[in-house]
Structures are given as C-alpha cells and as structure tokens.
A and B are shown apart, each in its own frame.
Chain A
Amino acid sequence: MSAAYSMTTQWPAGLSRWALIWGGLALVTVGLFLLKDDVGWAFKYPRALIWPLKFWISDFMKWLINDLNFILFTFKDFTRAVSWVIEQPYWLARNLLATGFVQGFGLEAETVWPRLSWVGLTGLAVLMGVYAQGWRLGLLAGACFTYLAVFGQWDSAMVTLSSIVIAVPFGVAGGLALGVAGYRSRRVKKVLSPVLDLMQTVPVFAYLVPVLLLFGFGPVSAMIATIIYAMPPMVRITMLALSKVPAEVMEYGAMAGCTRRQLLWKVQLPSAMSSLMVGVNQVVMLSLNMVIIASMIGAGGLGFDVLTALKRLKIGEGVEAGLAITLLAIALDRLSQAYARRPPPAHGARAEGFFRRYPYLTAGFGIIAGTWVLGYGFEAIAIYPKDWQVTTGLFWDNIVRWININYFDQLDGFKNALLLNVMIPFKRFLLSLPWVAVVGMAALAGLRLGGWRLGLLTGAMALFPALVGLWPKAMVTVYLMGLSVVIACLIGIPIGIAAARNERLHRIVQVCIDTLQTLPSFVYLMPVVMLFRVGDFAAMVAVVAYSVVPAIRYTDYGIRNVPAHVIEAATQSGCTRRQILWKVQMPLALPEIMLGINQTIMMALSMLVITALVGTRELGQEVYIALTKADTGQGIVAGISVAFIAIIADRLIGAWANKRKKQLGLA
C-alpha cells in the first residue's frame, strides 16, 4: 500500500506514465503476434520446461502412505486412528437417524433397536424452531422435514443429516481451537492466514483427491473432507470475534485476577458468543454443501441420489433429491441463524426442578422417547409408509418433455446464438493470447494497484498454470468465469439498484437471495441440465445463477449505505432522483459494488469447477479426472491453479476498492 503511495508522489504525472507502460505491453503483444512463427514458446509453453510438480506431489503422497514412519507408529496408523475417532460417532448417528441398530450382515441382519421415528424427528425440528425463534420457524422446519418423509427422501436425507450432525461439532471445535491459537500467537496467525486464503479458494473437488488417497473411499473420508472444508470460516470468525471483544472487558478480566485460561473461557469466549454462532451457521452450511459434493467419494445420501440422477440423466429423480437438499438446507440455515440471533437473555424467576427449568429439553426427550415407544405399536409412526409416499419424479420428467417439445427451438436458438457469437469467439481470443503477455498484464495490474509486492504476487500466480502445463485449461476457466461474471453483473447490479430504491422490492429480493445462497452448489446443476443439457452454455447458466447473489447484495448494500447527509445535500441542490443515483449514489457505492463483483468471481470459480460434471473442459475437469484416477498430484496442481486465479482477482479488486474507499473517505 505504502509503495503505491510513494509511487504516486514520485510521479505526479503518473497517469501518462502508466498509459505508456500499458501501451508498451500492448505493442509487445502485437509484436509477438507478428513474430508468431519465431517465438512459438511465447504462445505455447514449451513442453520440455514444464515443472513436474504434480509428479512430486504424487510421489510425496505415496511416500506418506507407504514409507513415513514416526518410529512408534506409521503415517498409515495415524490416518487410521483419525478415521476411527470420526467413525465411532458417525456410525452412532447414522444408526440412530438412518439405519437403526442392526446385528448381523446381509439377509440375516436383524434390527436390534429401530432408528428414531420420522414423527419424532419432525416434532423435534418444530420444537427447535419454536425454541430458537417462535412458531413460524417451528412450522417451517417441521414442513421441511415432513416433505422429506412424504416425498420418499427420508432415508437419504437422514444419511446426509447424520454426516452433518457429526461433521459440524468437529468443524466447530477444530475451527475454535485454531482460531484461539491464531488469536493468541501472532506467529501462528501469520502461518494460518495464507493457508486459510488458499483453503477457501481451492475448489472443493481438490480436497477430495488427497483425502480419498489417505482415507479411502467411504463416508468417513467424505466426513474428513467435509470437516476440512467447513473449518476455515470458523477459524477466521473465531480470530475476528475474539479480537472484537471490547478492550475494557478484557482489561476487566485481567483486573479481576483471571488466569489466561479463565480469561479465555469465562470472559472472552462468552462475550464473543453471538459472533461465534455466526461461524457455526457457516460451518453448518458449508458442511451441507460439501457432504453433497463428497458423495463422489462415498458420502451417500441425497448427494449420491443427485449424482446418480445426473449421470443417468434421470431428471425427475434428480430434481426431487435436489429439492430435498434445498429444503434441508433451508431448515438447517434458518435454525442455526435463529440460534445465532436469539435475543439476549432476560431475567425471570428460576423455576424449581430440572423439568421446569428446562422445558424444551424435557419436551424434546419426551417427543423422541414417546414416538419411539409408539413406533413399536404403530408402524406408520416409526417409518413413513411407502403407500403414502408421493413422487413428483414423473411430473418433473413430463415438464422437461413438455418444455423440450414446445420450447426446444427457442431455447436451442438462444443457446446457439450466444455460443456462436459470444462464447466461442471470446474463448478463441483468450486461447490465442501469448501467455507471456497475460502474465505480464497480471503483474502490471498488481504493480499499479498495490505496489511491487502485489505485482510480484499476481505475476507469479499467473505464471503458475503455464509452468505446470495447464495454460489452455486455465484460459478456458478464465473465459467461462469471465463471461459468467459479466452476465451475473448485468443481471445482478440492476436488480440491486432497483432493490436499494424500493423498500418492498428490497424485502422480496432479500428473501430470494437468502434462499439462493443457502443452496448447495450441486443443486444448481439439475435445472440447467434439464433445460440446456450438457456443455459450456449449461455450465455458464449454472454459474451465473449461483454467483449472481453477491452482485445483488453488495449493490443494494452499497447504495443504501451512502451517508444520508450526502443525499440530503444533493436533494437540496436540486438533483432529480436519477441524478442522485448516477452522480452521487453510484460513485460512492462503487467500491462496495466492486467487492460484490469480487465475491461474484469467487463464487463463480467455485461453481465453475463443479460444472465439470456437465462436461466443461476447464481446470475443474482436470480435478475431476484426477479424482476418478485418484491422482493427487494432478488434482492438487489443477486446484492450486484455480485458487491462484481466484486470489489474483481477489487481490487486484481488493486493492482497487481499498484505494478508492480511502480516496472517498469511506474506509
């Protein structure tokens, strides 16, 4: 930052100098094109110079698994111990929620204890909603669970839920522990920060490959991937929440004579509780997202149903399972959010006796125990009867058929027009650029916006895909991401502007984007495949749908947060509403909108990788192939390439927005 400032002070005529530099880069690029035959290396990274990083990583993994020995135990023993620790509670939860406690195998299996009844769990969901917020939330949660039973999704949903029920405590505890360590030691924080950056930008698939190799195929390794994936935001939020505890409160703790441990457990963590609960909500939602994706390495449950449906193009079944995921996500999100937002405690006479003091806990146990006992007498209470189940699969299939019969030409025409006129030319253009020029551009942009350190970082990161021989796929990634982000902004920013200027629209939009944001990325694939089948276009539509939310949210927020006195001053000087928007609100909200675009890019990238499932040929596909071949090196190298693209975009936009905010005095 300071470097950037000193630069502008040294060169008052900075703009013209920078224009010269950019012009120089453009000239060099054109020059490269003219000499294309002589400087082929600048266009196609020489095969001989490819850095064999992926083989090193694969060899390292092999060494870990086969040879690493800590004298007393091997690395393999260690991974087995980890799986064992996670396996025990997982099977308990799975038996309790999904399968029941069974003795024996195969056909001789005999249920010793049945699973919890669907009536009981639905009742529990209602109760939790009522406790956390009130009857409306209780009914919503109950309705979501009832849907799962009625539409025959109960079994799969409970498998998914049991993964979440176990993954969340592990993720929260791990995140809390790391967060506390990072808060306490500056050195730990210095190590953690870049690792967290990378973890949050590496595509989800990339986690699956090494986990698959270390822990094998199955629900436990899916859980481990889930826990690792869901932990970073908890770590960040813990560090932030702890540092936000007012200094006076910490001083008070010290003056009361707290030891370090007392200060942490009795003062700091309780004071930070409401912020920490936001982190718990994040862990829940990320766990759900990951558990669905981790069906690729054996998580089972609803994600597996969607995946199978996708592979066999059974749209109806897929949509049903997708809807079940959606409703489960909504129920979990609203419940955990309501817990985070629970009003501060109020005084009241303490009732005597355990049952009276904890009415909800008592009622919860009562419902579970009661329905369980009743389940022995009435089968329908234990397990929702098959005959009562409703399936909408056929209905969805018919809708798809109907759309295809009636609107095929329009949809296909639209798709082809966009493909031929925009997408393919843009893709060709990006692929034809010399990598040398693109790397130079990334470095220059970094230098201009954030000083030489940022320039070095962005340049090096842009160079990485070329070094490891993934340049063309990286460019395809940039092309799909770029177009999706542009379209998402074209849709999202106007909606955000409209919502900022109209209270009613704002409320409607809020509900919509809140819901969109809770959906696991996997769910978005179903409807696009339904309408556009596979390919770049379908992928782009899914990416746009997934990533449009932050563009809307930040635009709305940015415009609303323009200080009221500025608007008053503009009104007083006789601005019309339109003038206020374009001359006052938009310029002041621009940094915020840019941050929204930044978020849109991040989300687009994370979704893009998943669209490998519908047949795109970008870095995500590389990771996907690595997953099917269990090739760690390939998966990680491609994953890091995606992460680097994300980090470049993030740092450049972040640096610009910060600079602009400072200029506007909004920081």
Chain B
Amino acid sequence: MDERPVKLACRSVWKVFGGGAAGLFAGGGQPDDAALGAGNFIAAVRDVSLEVLQGEIFIIMGLSGSGKSTLVRCMTRLIEPTAGAVLFDGSDLLKASASELTNLRRHKMGMVFQHFALLPHRTVLGNVGFPLEVQGLSKPAREAKALEAIELVGLAGREAYYPAELSGGQQQRVGIARSLVVEPDVWFLDEPFSALDPLIRREMQDEFLRLQAVLHKTIVFITHDFEEAIRLADRIAIMKDGRIVQIGTSEDLVLNPASPYVEEFTRGIPRTKVLTAAAIARPAGKGPFAGTVPAEAKISTLVSEVLSARANAVFEVKDSNGRAVGQLSAKDIVAVLSTEAEAP
C-alpha cells in the first residue's frame, strides 16, 4: 500500500533479562514460556518484528511494563537485545562496532526523554549545543546551529536560562531542540509528553505535529496514552507483555481490533476522531454532489459542514490526487455519531 522505503526494522527482537539468557537462543530457536519461567528469566521484549517507513510517525503504545521502553532502547542499542536483528537503513545495528554506533548516534539518531534529561549545569544554549560539542564542532559553529534549533522550538530569548528556571513544557522544548540540532534521520521520542500537565501536553502535541510538517523525520514515538497515539500516529503498534499485539493505523485498530485487549483500548475513543471520510464512504453514485470532502479528513471535522447542508445532500469523497473514492451523506455521519452515543 505504501511505497516509502523502510528506514528502521526489527526482526524477531528479544530482550531477556537474567543471567545466561543468551543460552536460550543457542540452537537458533526461540524460547517458550516454560523455558523462560524455569530459568527465572524476564522477557521484556518477545519476538518483536516491525518496520518503520521513511517519514512516518510510528507509535509504540502500551501500558507500563509492556516492554515499550525496553523495545525503543533495543532499537537504539541503549539496551543490547538478546536476540534478533535491528536494521537501520538495511544494515544490522547490532553488528555495528562501538565507534560505528557512536557515529550513527551522533549523526543519524536523536532521542527525547520522558523526564527531559537536561544537563542541569548548562544553559539552554549549552544543552542544545552539547551534541555538536561532543562531535568536536567549533564553538561559533555549534552556537549558530543551536540558536537555529532554539528558534525552531520557540524558545528564542531564553538561550541563557538554566533548566531549573524553565517550566516542564519549556524544558521538553529544549530536549526537542537538542535532539534535532544534529538533523537526525530517525527521531526517537520516549513518552516525551507524559510528565507534562494535560493542557501543556496538548500544546506540545500540536507543536510536535507542526515540527513534523516541516521536518518530515522518521519518528518512533513511545506513549502509554492511546488518545495521544491516535492523535499523532500514522501507524500504531500496540504492545502487551513484551509482544506486539497489533500494528495498524488508528482506523484499523478501531474498526478491526485484533483482540479484546485492543478493543478495550479503543472503546472510549470517539469514532468521529478516528474514522476518515474514506472509511465510511459508499461507492460513488452519479451525483449531483453538494460538495467535495477530502478522503483523509476525520469525520469530526466534517460534521458541521455535512449536517448543515440540506437533508438529502450527497458529498463526493476525493483523495489527495483528486480521484473520487466514493460518496457520503448526512445519514452516514449520523450513523457514526449514533453508534458512539450507544457505546458505554
């Protein structure tokens, strides 16, 4: 369906904690629950395979203890996976030497942390310039770049402040600027907004979408908040007990949950915010059409326009290339709204 190249992929990645865990994979096979239990092993990540496409926002969603943080650290090799392969631009990250890994991290990866992880003894400018400093850039060069990044996240004028003088939201902006200053290919965000107040969280999510609209990074985003996931994601992977339960767009998850566990998550989610016009469109008739709606538009954005038209008006649904994919009417929207009202 999507022809974009794969930027980052996991192939049967395992992370098993406990002494001698590597022995479990000795014969090339994979351990079962009995083998794990017998050795008092803890498998934080089990047989995870996934592909992150160039330029997409890939969200890994799971409750605490589901292994999502361990998985993202396996993808950056902050934690050494016990078995499997992590392909970065097609080559296995786990086979990279220490210096190759350092180089990849310096130039190709950026990471944002839940608790910001700013260096308390450095100013905003010093923090944002830090990744360039360890690369050995001269002071004027790194300060010029750092100032650009600070400007980008809207903190211009605060360069001389220390982290302790900033609010949580501002601190995370510094974290974002710092991770972007090296212009990474892949951007990892580990629950970046979880430590913030709900209002600020919302604001930062908007900011994140704004940045992505400009930057088009390949993004791996970790969260435990399903609403955040559907708001930001191109695709979502849901994790439970170290395994991936389902990967799909938010629409896929809502319309076709792979298990009761996934369904449980999607239950409280307003359908109108997840479903697109294309998802509820019927085969297009002859017309006449009262108007045109974009295929990728969420229902919630169409409600007022469609319902305020005259009673039997039919709208044509067109994709971004201008091709007609179907039609929808006020009745179809009301149907979505009413299932939502019935939902517990």
Contact = CB atoms under 8 A, between A and B. Distances in A.
A248 B130 contact: no
Contacts of B102: 257-259
Contact of A251 (B116, B117, B134, B164): B117
B162 A347 contact: yes
A413 B105 CA distance: 78
A246 B117 contact: yes
Interface residues of A, number: 24
A105 B135 CA distance: 57
Interface string B141-185: 000000000000000001011101100000000000010000000
Contact of B106 (A248, A257, A270): A257
Interface string A239-272: 0000000101101101111110010001100110
Interface stretch (B54-62, B86-94, B107-115): B107-115
B123 interface: yes
A267 B119 contact: yes
A260 to B, nearest CB: 9
B164 A255 contact: no
A258 to B, nearest CB: 5
Nearest to A274: B120
A347 B120 contact: no
Interface in B55-81: 73, 76, 78
A262 B134 contact: yes
B4 interface: no
Nearest to B122: A270
Nearest to A263: B134
Interface string B243-286: 00000000000000000000000000000000000000000000
B162 A345 contact: yes
Contacts of B122: 270
B134 A256 contact: yes
A346 B162 contact: yes
Best-surrounded residue of A246, A254, A259, A348 (most CB of chain B within 10 A): A254
A273 B121 CA distance: 9
A267 B78 CA distance: 16
Contact of A346 (B106, B120, B131, B165): B165
A270 B164 contact: no
A249 B119 contact: yes
B30 interface: no
B117 A252 contact: yes
A344 B119 contact: no
Contacts of B117: 246, 248-249, 251-252
Contact of B111 (A251, A346, A347): A251
Nearest to A270: B121
Interface string A292-306: 000000000000000
Interface string A207-234: 0000000000000000000000000000
Given A248-B115, A344-B162, A256 B131 contact: yes
A251, A256, A270, A345: most-surrounded residue (chain B CB, <10 A): A256
Given A346-B165, A347-B162, A255 B111 contact: yes
Given A257-B105, A271-B120, A266 B130 contact: yes
A271 B162 contact: no
Contacts of B111: 251-252, 255
A256 to B, nearest CB: 4
A212 B160 CA distance: 53
Interface string A19-47: 00000000000000000000000000000
Looking at B113, B122, B133, B165, which has the most chain A CB atoms within 10 Å of its CB? Answer: B113
B103 interface: yes
A257 B131 contact: yes
B134 A257 contact: yes
B119 A270 contact: yes
A257 B132 CA distance: 9
A394 B121 CA distance: 53
Contacts of B158: 347
Nearest to B190: A248
B131 A344 contact: no
Contacts of A255: 76, 78, 105, 109-111, 188
Contact of A344 (B105, B116, B164): B164
A453 B155 CA distance: 58
Interface in B168-216: 178, 188
Interface in B19-70: none
Contact of B135 (A254, A257, A267): A257
Given A248-B115, A257-B102, A344 B120 contact: yes
A662 interface: no
A350 interface: yes
B134 A248 contact: no
Contacts of A345: 121, 162
A350 B123 CA distance: 12
B78 A251 contact: yes
Contacts of A349: 160
Contacts of B165: 346-347
Contacts of B73: 251
Interface in A479-493: none
B160 A257 contact: no
Contacts of A251: 73, 78, 111, 113, 117
Contact of A266 (B105, B109, B114, B134): B134
Given A248-B114, A251-B78, A254-B105, A271 B123 contact: no
A348 to B, nearest CB: 7
A266 B134 CA distance: 9
A345 B164 CA distance: 8
B20 to A, nearest CB: 17
A93 to B, nearest CB: 29
Given A246-B115, A257-B106, A257-B131, A347 B161 contact: yes
Contact of B78 (A246, A254, A259, A266): A254
A256 B160 contact: no
A349 B123 CA distance: 12
Nearest to B99: A259
Contacts of B107: 257
B160 A348 contact: yes
A6 B123 CA distance: 53
A152 B76 CA distance: 66
Interface in B266-311: none
Contacts of A346: 162, 165
Contacts of A246: 115, 117
A366 to B, nearest CB: 28
Contacts of B105: 254-257
B191 to A, nearest CB: 11
B106 A256 contact: yes
Interface in A337-355: 344-350
B247 to A, nearest CB: 25
A439 to B, nearest CB: 37
B131 to A, nearest CB: 4
A349 B157 CA distance: 12
B140 to A, nearest CB: 16
A248 B118 CA distance: 9
Nearest to B102: A257
A518 B280 CA distance: 78
A493 B161 CA distance: 46
B160 A271 contact: no
Contacts of B123: 347
Contacts of A350: 160
Given A257-B106, A271-B121, A344-B120, 15 more contacts: A248-B116, A249-B117, A251-B73, A251-B111, A252-B117, A256-B105, A256-B130, A256-B134, A257-B131, A258-B102, A270-B122, A271-B120, A344-B162, A347-B123, A347-B161
17 contacts: A246-B115, A248-B114, A249-B117, A255-B111, A256-B105, A256-B131, A256-B134, A257-B131, A257-B135, A262-B134, A266-B134, A270-B119, A344-B120, A344-B162, A344-B164, A346-B162, A350-B160
Interface of A: 246, 248-249, 251-252, 254-259, 262, 266-267, 270-271, 273, 344-350
> Which 4 pairs, one residue from A and one from B, show the smallest C-beta to C-beta distance?
A257-B106, A248-B117, A347-B160, A252-B117
